[in-house]
Homo-oligomer: A and B are copies of this chain.
Amino acid sequence: MSLSNEEILGLVAGVCTTIAVIPQIKKAWKTKKVKDVSPGMFAILMLGVGLWVVYGIVQNDLPIIATNGVSLGLNSVMMYLMIRYREK
């Protein structure tokens, strides 16, 4: 498998936007506090990255499919933590 420079650039960009949520997951996991975090942000993010996956499939664009697929999974983890640690 050989990647073009453009595909490598897209993958690096996608890795950044994909892993960005990991520090937030770690923080929520460690502190068990999500009071200041917006649930709306993660709900809209999940919808958006889901649509990006569809877009990537239609355009046959590997970086978009791969990175947004993982992003959907990570955002689901964060949404789970938001629900688990919400203040009643």
Contact = CB atoms under 8 A, between A and B. Distances in A.
A20 B36 contact: no
Given A6-B58, A54-B9, A55-B10, A16 B44 contact: yes
SS of A interface (majority): helix
A86 to B, nearest CB: 11
Contacts of A9: 51, 54-55, 58
B44 A13 contact: no
A66 interface: no
Interface string A5-37: 010011011111111111110111001011111
Interface of A: 6, 9-10, 12-24, 26-28, 31, 33-42, 44-45, 47-49, 51-52, 54-55, 58-59, 63
